[in-house]
Amino acid sequence: MAKDGTARGGARPNSGPTKKSARPKLNDGAVTLNTDVELEGVDVPPIKDFLTAKQKSGKDLQAKDVYKSVYAWLKKRGCDKLVSQQLVEQYSMMVSRWIQCEEAISEYGFLAKHPTTGNAMQSPYVAMSQNYMKQINATWFQIYQIVKDNGSADVEELDQQDIMMEALLKQKKKK
């Protein structure tokens, strides 16, 4: 507490000891797994109905394809059980909505007519697209952080896109 009686300060983000992922703990023998449990292997968990719902435009929602590709990517890195299904569903839904906005921008253009004045204004789809892109990036960062902390893939096994994303994330921390 400060001299003037206000509560300021406190724990700083990313301070303290660095976190150790679960894999080294398993290798050290600090954590033991119950191997008596029988697991049923599935490539992708069941896809919920809202990810495949028909849209007002009559087009199919593309969240199903995004959902499958994200789970395939997670499985390749051994993290498909670590990332919550809800997080992948949210990411898939946001990407499909972003795609819808981009299709609307392609169809209607960047400008729209103001409802009261009739003047040209920015299309609302542009702002929605930008908003979805921010949400997509934030959600992907959560997913990627889990994979980075716990993934079994070495840097050599990562795709070019993953290496580029890793470089961007490290560059941001340096500033």
Q: Rounded to the nearest 5°, which phi and psi values hold at 28?
A: -75, -15
Confidence (pLDDT) at 155 = 43
> Residue 111: inside a domain, yes or no?
yes
Q: In 3D, which of 100, 173, 112 has the Cα closest to residue 141? A: 173
User: What is the count of structural domains for the chain?
Assistant: 1
The residues near 16 (Cβ < 8 Å, ≥ 6 apart) are none
Q: Rounded to the nearest 5°, which phi and psi values hold at 136?
A: -60, -45
> Residue 171: inside a domain, yes or no?
no
Condensed to tens digits (0 to 9), the pLDDT of residues 18-73 reads 776 666 666 666 666 566 656 555 567 777 777 877 887 777 788 888 999 999 88
> Residue 62: inside a domain, yes or no?
yes
Confidence (pLDDT) at 95 = 93
Q: Determine the Cα–Cα distance for residues 149 and 78; give it in Å rounded to an integer.
A: 12
SS3 48: coil
Comparing 40-49, 81-90, 100-109, the range with the smallest average pLDDT is: 40-49
> Residue 104: inside a domain, yes or no?
yes
Confidence (pLDDT) at 96 = 92
Domain extent for 80 = 49-145
> Residue 150: inside a domain, yes or no?
no
> Residue 115: inside a domain, yes or no?
yes
> Residue 163: inside a domain, yes or no?
no
> Residue 125: inside a domain, yes or no?
yes
Give 15's pLDDT tier (boundaries 50, 70, 90). confident
Confidence (pLDDT) at 25 = 62
Q: Which residue bears the tokens 């470089």?
A: 167
Q: What is the mean pLDDT of the chain?
A: 79
